[in-house]
Chains A and B, each alone.
Chain A
């Protein structure tokens, strides 16, 4: 699924990253437990989470995840956005819940990691 479709489906706002229409994710994983993210196999994964601290980015970086949706209207800090930019990540914000965002993307065909 193109990232621009993700943004449209969830009514999200891109606050970091460029050209979402040129970027693709194959699967999604929703969690607030970063330890779970570190157990995933590699792939073009969209991470959906309510955690907006720096460890979310560091975890994503280690797991080779470049696209993150932050749910529940959580606002990332300036430091968060600066680090995301340095690591060339795309950050999408949503006012909706983890369940709502996950459900909408699932319904529209974005596969789960498992």
Chain B
């Protein structure tokens, strides 16, 4: 099964809608609850990252019997130092994002914790691609 969602940058009223829809699909597919929760947390962190940092982006979802693969592609400022961004506590989030309860430099480390494979590729001034794979078996 393949799904695709558009994510709008800076629009916190819609942030999480795509993740919510995918989570419901995962539940309907009878994927184990602990895996649904793990995927949902990683997916939502990545979606919020696009809303918080990028101008716009997409989330592609591929589900088969062995894995759930998520690919987030955004147009945005990009990440100049991915190793630094992966460090807990490092954040470039705005004050508005922090007031929403995010931007504490916990998102990327938490995505790593809640995924089996995480790949991040970024080009400064263009955008970032985040790939998250979770194995179901």
Contacts and interface: CB of A to CB of B under 8 A. Distances in A.
A binds B: yes
Q: Tell me the interface secondary structure of chain B in the complex.
A: helix
Given A42-B34, A53-B12, A55-B15, A61 B20 contact: yes
Given A61-B23, A62-B16, A62-B23, A38 B104 contact: no
A19 interface: no
Interface in B70-128: 100-104, 106-107, 110, 113
Interface in B17-64: 17, 19-20, 23, 33-34, 37, 40-41, 43-45, 48
Q: Classify chain B's interface size.
A: 20 to 34
Contacts of A32: 101
Contacts of A31: 101
Given A38-B110, A39-B110, A62 B101 contact: no
Nearest to B113: A39
Interface in A70-113: 79
B37 A42 contact: yes
B106 A62 contact: no
A62 B102 CA distance: 15
A61 B104 contact: no
A96 B3 CA distance: 44
B13 interface: yes
A53 B100 contact: yes
A4 interface: no
Interface of B: 12-13, 15-17, 19-20, 23, 33-34, 37, 40-41, 43-45, 48, 100-104, 106-107, 110, 113
21 contacts: A35-B101, A35-B104, A37-B101, A42-B34, A51-B100, A51-B101, A54-B12, A54-B15, A56-B101, A58-B15, A58-B44, A59-B44, A61-B23, A62-B16, A62-B19, A62-B23, A62-B40, A62-B41, A62-B43, A62-B44, A63-B41
